[in-house]
Every structure is written in C-alpha cells, then in structure tokens.
Amino acid sequence: MNMSKKYDAISLGRGQDKKAMNCINENAARGGWALLMNCHLATSFMPKLEKTVDALDDSNHRDFRLWLTSMPAKTFPVPVLQNSVKMTLEPPTGLRQNVMGTYESLEWKDVEESTKPDAVKILLFGFCFFHAIVQDRRKFGPIGWNIAYAFMNEDLVVCRKQLRIFVEDYEEIPYKVLNYVGAEVNYGGRVTDDKDGRLISTILKTYMNDKVMTVGHAYSKSGVYKVIEPGEKEDYMEYIKNFPLNPEPEAFGLHDNAEITTNQNNTATLLSNVLSMQARSSGGTGKSRETIIGEMCKDIQD
C-alpha cells in the first residue's frame, strides 16, 4: 500500500517502552504505521499498551495503523486482542502442504547463483523435507516426539544459508558438518529431551549423506519420496504436488500402527468441537435443542 517509507518498527524488550510509545504517538499524528514486534517479551509494557489502545480514537490521522506481533502469551491484553483484526501464522498441516509452502516462499535466485547449484538443490530439498517431517511428527503424539517442539521457519532459513556456504567452501560436501549444525545447533537448540536429540540427529542423516547425490535415491521404504533430477523451482513444485495428501507413517520412519493413535485423537477433537457448538438448552417458546441441531445438520449438508 506504498507505506514502506511511512512506517517504524520497534522490537520490544527491556528498556524499549519509551521508544514504543514515541513510535505510536508520532505515527498517530502523521498517519504512518507503527509496528511493535515481540509483544510477548515486554510483559511490563502490556498494561500501558492496553491503555494506549483504549485511548485511540477518530482524532488520530486516518492512515494511522498499529501493528503488533506476538507469540501466544497470557500477558497479552485480551481487550486489545478482541478489538484487533487478527492474523495467525502457523505451519500448514500435512507433509505436502508444508514442503509446498516452503518452496513457494523460496528465493530461487540465491540457489541459481551458487557455484555448485546441483548439489545445493538436492540438499536443499533434503532440508525442506526434513523440516516438514520434524514438524508433522507432532501429530503422532509421544510416538513422534517425547515433547512437542515448535520448530520455526527461521530454523530452516539458517540451515539454507549455511548449506550454500559449506557446499561452496569445501571441495567435497561436508555431510558431517551439515548434520551437526542442522540437528545439534539450529533445530537441536529447541530440543530438551536427550532421546529426542538422538532422534532428530538420526532423522537428518536420512537426508544428509552421500547417497542422496544419486538421482532416484528413496527417502523411505515406499520410494514415493525420492531425489529427483536437479531442475528449476517449478520442477520441484510439480513433483511435490504429486505427494500423497495423507502420507503413510512410513514416510516418517514409523510403523503403520502409529496412525491409530493419531486418528483416534483427531476423531476425539472433532467430536468435542461439534459438542461444544451445540445449543445446551432452550427456554420459553424458542426452538428446542433437537430442532436447532437438525437445522444445523441440514445447513451443513446443503
């Protein structure tokens, strides 16, 4: 909206309260955008933010907007949340959607400019697939991870940058280094359970080894997920579109029975959500509970 020159960003934290208030007041007066990032890190500032938002009215410039970013936090003011237009960013569910989302957001020019583009393309696909696997394993509960970790896109971005550096700086691809920085440093920094630490190292070795340089090398027993000929971004996206919509547990290195627990949990969640939306009681001459449910069913069916 041509506001790139008319916005100010403040990353909240200790000692940033005054700067944040100045940022809001200045932009409210001149019609700019104020962006306050990481509100979850500024617990003491949240009450002041709530008062400030309450005081905003039509006297401010009509182009003024206040943007707030935060992880889920109990300290974030509920009234501010209720009065805001909300956008949530979370990893897409499903292996295909996850890998596809990663490739859609890739800057392919960085890959093409590499001195060893083919090696980077193959290993980059491995890292993207690994990223989707470790995120989607959470749906298997304790079978997937002892602790459900929130792996972020930033972890993959760092791995991607390091991948190009290490591949270009060494004559031979340093798989040991890539495995260490990926599983122990970037992703492993979030892992607190020692068994999960061993698991994530083992998973990454599936995608970072000398065998993956062979076109057709399979990442799992089924052979559905494999190394393809290094090509353009569109070639990879076309290949990803052919992934199964509901991947088998073998894609994650798990037994078929692992999906039983997942399906049971999904069913229980679906049913509890349906029950929570039902009318609890009816009073006076209003519609009965059964009538309301019947109408909802018909509406959904239509």
Q: What is the pLDDT of residue 279?
A: 64
| Closest CA relative to residue 11, chosen from 35, 27, 33 | 35
Q: What is the pLDDT of residue 74?
A: 87
> What is the arithmetic mean of pLDDT over 152-178?
92
For the cut 80, the answer to whether the pLDDT of residue 187 exceeds it is: yes
Tokens of 177: 């280094």
Q: What is the pLDDT of residue 72?
A: 83
Confidence of residue 291 (pLDDT cuts 50, 70, 90): confident
For the cut 60, the answer to whether the pLDDT of residue 185 exceeds it is: yes
* Model pTM score: 0.70
Q: Where are the domains of the chain?
A: 7-82, 95-258
Confidence of residue 285 (pLDDT cuts 50, 70, 90): low
Q: Contact at 8 Å (CB) between 32 and 7?
A: yes
Handedness of CA 133, 247, 90, 140 (dihedral sign): negative
Mean pLDDT of the chain: 89
| Cα diameter, the chain | 82
Q: What is the pLDDT of residue 284?
A: 59
**36 phi, psi to nearest 5 deg:** -105, 115
Can you tell me which residue has the tokens 């989707």?
Answer: 132
Distances (CA, A) of 142 to 6, 83, 251: 48, 37, 17
CATH of 95-258, one of 1.10.8.720, 3.60.21.10, 3.30.930.10, 1.10.10.10: 1.10.8.720
| Closest CA relative to residue 135, chosen from 96, 88, 172 | 96
The CATH architecture that domain 7-82 belongs to is 3-Layer(aba) Sandwich (3.40)
pLDDT (tens digit per residue) in 238-263: 999 999 988 999 999 998 888 888 88
Q: What is the pLDDT of residue 145?
A: 93
Q: What Rg do the C-alpha atoms of the chain give, in angstroms?
A: 24
**33 phi, psi to nearest 5 deg:** -110, 135
* Of 74-78, 91-95, 181-185, the least confident: 91-95
Q: Helices 117-136 and 153-169 sit at what angle, rounded to 10 degrees?
A: 150
Can you tell me which residue has the tokens 């994530």?
Answer: 200
